[in-house]
Structure 1
Amino acid sequence: SSYLHCIVITETENVLAMNVKFGKSHGNSNHGGRGILPTPHNQGMSPLDTSRKIPICFQCNKKGHMKAQCWFNPQNKNKGVRHDYKQGGQSSKSTAEDMQQLLMAAFSKMTIKQNEQGEWFLDSGAATHVTGNAGKLTNLSPHYGRSCIITGDGKSHPITHIGNAHIPLSSSSLSLSNVVLAPNIKKNIISISKLIDDTSSSVEFTPSSVYVKDLQTKKMFARGERQGNMYVLKECLPKDSSTFDIGLKTFSLSHNASSVPSSCHFQSKVRGPNQFLESDLWHSRLGHCGRHFIEKLVTDSLIPRSSLPLTSSVKKCSSCGLCKSHVLPFHNINQRASKPFETIFSDVWGSAPIDSMSGSRYYVLFIDSYSRFTWIYFMKHKSEVPHIFRNFYAMIQTKFSSNVVHFQCDGGGEYSSLDFIEFLREKGITRQISCPYTPQQNGVVERKHRHIVESAMSMMHDTN
């Protein structure tokens, strides 16, 4: 957020300076007359639109008031003129509106684009390694000498610091020592002569690639590609610390890693400062948006395609899981009873909007956990459940010579009556009650409800 504030202020100053300059040029022209400055134009408004004019005082040459209202005018000292104009400012309302327009203009100029800071160019004419990004260096120490970098156009660029650089590659890494930091240099440059001396290596160029090999074993430990007329070593993306330009400011995200919460990353909860994925950073910047939103931005070419994470490597963001989830997940339990009628699931459905031909508006289900066999009984009132279960239990003992051990239900009043609880106690049946407002714990019978209702509605619709 600190970077963004700096950017807004910088852009606002630029826009303000632009408008002041523009106003002065029109102050002596025939468009606005002497002493009139145009306000910052709105979006879609022509730059020459002077429908809103900021006056300039002829007494103190400050904007926001006329001479008749100026505090420094001797004629106004005894007229009770507000002292607000002593500083040359406008009224609070006018100032707020103008500042709002300035900020809108500043935001409209802000662009976010990826800087090519992940590329290191091999240069045989460079005397030392050079970079303009402080986020690429470690063990920085200030440079107090008068040495500078002289480029091909004859310009000299001051050196501010000296440090070490670690370049992560696809299969290995390359360490550079005594890399100079010149903020005006836009590219990362590797001196071939210094690379050979520091690493005791040899550099081999081919028409399409460049290879850095150990001088003794001839084993390759770095490989680059040719881009146009230049040979480039590219940093490995998963370990890359992306650098972005926003407006007029450039900053390295790895250098300010604390601004991104560690829990926002798809891959891991704990990361080093140089291990943020670009997709994780965009996921955090855009308010922890979903993958489909990032895909749309990539399709519209608003962010680079490298911001899109691979499907095989994407994991859930822990912050999104904790802050966006409404219900904790329920684990599927497929455990069944070891013998028939050991556990019975039961629930009541209703009331129906229309009575049946027999006047029933409810039904109760009894499902055997072992066989999933279902019995359905229609009722006119919920209070009929204890009487129906007594008949059901008698049927089980008579036909199957078996007893019910566990009875799974919810906490409805039809299962909490004293008559029903007393019957379960007499028969030695354990009542298992699901938690309030948690039908998932009695999912077998809840799913059967859906099956019965959908089947009935389909048959009714088919028969008109």
Structure 2
Amino acid sequence: MAQTGISAAVAPAHSKSTITLTTNQLEDIISQALIRDGNASSSSTLSVLPGKLSSWLLDSACCNHMTPYPSFFSHTSSARHAPNIHTANGSTMLVRSIGTVSTSKLSIFDVFHVPQLSYNLLSVGQLAELGYRIILDYYGCVVQDPRTGQELGTGRRIGRLFEISSLRLPATGVSAATSSSPSLSLWHSRLGHASSSRVQQLVSRGLLGPVSKDNFDCVSCQLGKQPALPFQNNESMSTGIFDLIHSDIWGPSPINSIGGSHYFVVFVDDYSRYSWVFLMCTRDELLNIYRNFANMVKTQFSKTIKVFRSDNARELTQHAFEHILYSHGTVHQFSCPGTSQQNGRAERKLRHILDTVRALLLSSKVLVPFWGEAVLTTTHAINRIPSPTISNQTSYERLFGSPPQYQHLRSFGSACFVILQPHEHNKLEPRSCLCCFLGYGETKKGYRCYDPITHRLRISRHVVSWEHSLFTEVSQFRPSFSPFSLSDLFPGVSTPSPELFPPSPEVSTSIPQTESSDHSFGSSSDETPHSSSESPAPAPSEDPAPATTLRRFSRDLGVSTSSATPIYFDNRSAIQIARNDVFHERTKHIEIDCHLIRHHLLQGSLQLISVSSHDQLADIFTKSHPTGRFRDLVSKLQLVSHPPP
């Protein structure tokens, strides 16, 4: 324990009496004698504050209270974990010990003993950390407890310095401030797990009162609020063609293309941004497509693909595909699962292609099944459009080294006339046919045009285009989506009449035949009249008539009909009745029908085959079905829905 009451004897020369003063009293007398007026400059202030005096100066740059005098301490402890003190001139001072300073005018805690120091310093930051308010003005300084408003210490201004005259901090100041003041983590919880920056903003404005600062990490916020990290726009580019290939697969398409494709894959060269698109019926075709593409690059450009970048599609991660890459020395780079943005260049290329395809289909009024041809035509055009990412060059020029030609380009979906081959017409028939322009030949120097009459895709160089006229506006073979009416079958008849539709089902009325040609095919001598049934019969009474009529029509055209025509039924009883010549009492009303069917069975022109109800495709025309069964029948019949033009 250091002594604080050391006495000093002072006696005048002419007197033998002695005046005894304590150390504190002596220091106060010397300090008051040396202190000048408060308006003195800061340089003169330092000169009148000797280092061994008891003056304590406020210092905002000081990290901790510190003093060079060990006699001030009433209690000390080891400074094993205390930091070193770095001064403004770059020197370092060591902390000898840490303790409590308690005098008649000063009572502070957690003070560093620094023997090399020349002055007693009070840290503004340490007082603020304890939650105290420090007020500095022209007249002096005040240390205040913001909770109670009590002044804990005062000081005076000496030039540009502030000297603490008295300061007595409560013995429980630190612990009381910590225990009574809510922490930042508590306010974070009270405010509904608000972000720490928002809580700090409220603390700095003094709206939350005294808050003890603590460093906290909220696991709940991390689990519940963690966002995806932002993606940086990577503007890097490879230094040569085929150094890096981006790839992605699109599909399946909701509607099959005219060629039966459901998917397409795109390959994008990173250096030139040139794109190759290949249509696919199934995703399994990707293996052969890439093999042919890599061989084409090696043969045509004498290059080998160095890096192939794609997503984690199943077809791209199979052993067979990896073996092809390994055999060519190609490095396969994948994007992280669920992070398609890392394959951004291929994704953006797909978006560019699909946006253009939609615009082409809408502007040309071409049916949606032609989307595959629109994809190929779009890619052909995009490769010839300048791009700002490659210094406003075209991908074609950057890949092949020469600017592309534009004279061969035509409007998608426009009307065009394709010259017919000599064997397709005679000298009196038209020499060309009206077609729809769909694109450009890939391996042939010609145009791809769709012939609506033969449903063929013609590739020819002898094409005359009407680019200002759409094919759907010129062609007479547009599909009709208007509701079917009775007048379509019988011209001049718009409403049912008693002659055509008798009110009683027992009465059979013949309908006059209406012909649209100048002669009729086939003879009616083989036809056997038969009556209708008043109730559904188990025998196939209506099926043989169309079948036999088509056989006679084919025979008149010279088509061989030697084999029997199969007719599928899911009713075994009806088949047995047709084959059994024994008269059944319950089939009186279809007696003629049975004889008619037996007649064709004996002649070998018809063949009745039993199928299960599940495999009976004709059910879609005779009864209603659930959604799943209906879609199954549509798929088996290969029906395609065409939207109206």
**TM-score normalised by structure 2 residue count:** 0.28
Greater Rg over alpha carbons, structure: 2
Q: TM-score, normalised by structure 1?
A: 0.37
Higher relative contact order (CA 8 A, sep 6+): 1
